[in-house]
């Protein structure tokens, strides 16, 4: 069943096919876990939210609407689940709103394949200095190779807003580095083009 497209798997799932659900789960579990761990560092909470998401999808399979971008749908659904859980915890523990947003989409040095440690540290710092929406857009675009339309769906914003967010993020990152450093940093990103 692994040779089925996402659209075919969703169609089979609408008919109650548990194998289609299992295939979607196995195909997307690792990327969802990685994505969720950008929202919060609590891996167990992310794992629980992923399981709850797939249980919900199966329980409501007959009511699933048209899903054009399955990956974007799963990311957005997981994001909402995690944020809702964190928000409930914030209310119970009186975590400040600034603290709540500060834990989202943090980058670590291991995310980069750069040989020079100083450059890795500087890039990590520059990315983590961005507002969280810009960090999220960068992560979705350059780490998950999602289109701006898929990112707009996940972030629940207009496509043009995604383009503007990416532009501002890259502009701010570029201002943190010298020209030779920029060549080293952005050469690997040359394979991605903004629509």
CA distance 156 to 27: 24
pLDDT of residue 101: 47
Q: How far apart are the first and last CA of the chain?
A: 33
Which are the contacts of 163, defined by CB distance < 8 A and separation ≥ 6? Answer: 148, 194, 195
Per-residue pLDDT 10s for the chain (195 aa) are 567 888 888 888 888 889 999 999 999 999 999 889 888 888 999 999 999 999 999 898 778 778 888 999 999 999 889 988 887 777 666 554 444 444 456 666 566 655 667 777 777 888 888 898 898 898 888 888 889 999 998 888 999 999 999 999 988 888 877 666 666 655 555 444 444
pLDDT of residue 180: 65
pLDDT of residue 109: 58
- Count the Cβ atoms, other than its own, within 10 Å of residue 8: 13
- What residue ranges of the chain are covered by domains with CATH 1.10.1740.10? 6-99
CATH number belonging to domain 114-191: 1.10.10.10
- What residue ranges of the chain are covered by domains with CATH 1.10.10.10? 114-191
CATH of 6-99, one of 3.40.50.920, 3.40.640.10, 1.10.1740.10, 3.40.50.1820: 1.10.1740.10
pLDDT of residue 61: 79
Which of these, 98, 176, 87, 173, lies nearest to 134 by C-alpha position? 173
Tokens of 75: 């990311």
Q: What is the DSSP string of the chain?
A: -TTS-HHHHHHHHHTT-HHHHHHHHHHHHHHHHHHHHHH-S-HHHHHHHHHHHHHHHHHTGGG----S-HHHHHHHHHHHHHHHHHHHHHHHHT--HHHHHHTSS---GGG---S-HHHHHHHHHHHHTS-HHHHHHHIIIIIS---HHHHHHHHTS-HHHHHHHHHHHHHHHHTTS-HHHHHHHHTGGGG----
pLDDT of residue 98: 46
């Amino acid at each position: 069943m692994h040779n089925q497209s996402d659209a075919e798997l969703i169609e089979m799932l609408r008919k109650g096919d548990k194998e289609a659900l299992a295939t979607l789960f196995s195909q997307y579990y690792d990327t969802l876990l990685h994505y969720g761990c950008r929202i919060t560092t609590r891996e167990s909470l992310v794992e629980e939210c992923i399981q709850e998401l797939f249980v919900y999808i199966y329980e409501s399979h007959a009511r699933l609407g048209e899903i054009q971008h399955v990956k974007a749908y799963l990311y957005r659904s997981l994001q909402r689940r995690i944020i809702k859980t964190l928000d409930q915890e914030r209310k119970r523990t009186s975590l400040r709103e600034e603290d709540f947003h500060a834990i989202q989409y943090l980058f670590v040095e291991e995310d980069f394949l750069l040989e020079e440690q100083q450059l890795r540290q500087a890039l990590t710092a520059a990315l983590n200095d961005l507002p969280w929406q810009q960090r999220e857009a960068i992560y979705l675009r350059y780490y998950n190779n999602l289109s701006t339309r898929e990112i707009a769906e996940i972030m629940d914003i207009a496509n043009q807003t995604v383009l503007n967010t990416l532009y501002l993020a890259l502009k701010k990152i570029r201002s943190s580095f010298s020209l030779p450093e920029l060549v080293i940093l952005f050469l690997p990103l040359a394979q991605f083009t903004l629509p």
